[in-house]
Amino acid sequence: MFARRRFAVLKNLLEYVGIEPGRLHFSWISSAEAEKFQKTVAAVTEAVKALGPAQHMIKDIRKVA
């Protein structure tokens, strides 16, 4: 419940600086909810794939000076 507040602020902040909406996901899954876990992971994977490789906050040490 504390985390809900912290994630709300963090999500807003990351989207505010230009991290695309859809890269960051939150879900509430109990250890008994195997099906919900499976479906959520599939949905997150699909959403992130659709966005393509991340462009920001990436440090490619082969490229940087």
In the complex, the residues that contact another protein under the rule CB under 8 A are: 1-2, 4-21, 25-28, 40, 43, 55-62, 64-65
Quick one: 32 or 65, whose CB is closer to another protein? 65
CA 27 to chain centre: 10
Nearest to 27 by CA among 39, 38, 17, 40: 40
Candidates 58, 48, 60; CA nearest to 20 is: 48
Q: How far is the CB of 10 from another protein (least distance, A)?
A: 6
We find the least distance from the C-beta atom of residue 58 to another protein, in angstroms, to be 6
Question: Cα(21)–Cα(31) distance, rounded to whole angstroms?
Answer: 27
Q: Which is nearer to another protein, 4 or 31 (CB)?
A: 4
Nearer to another protein, 18 or 31 (CB): 18
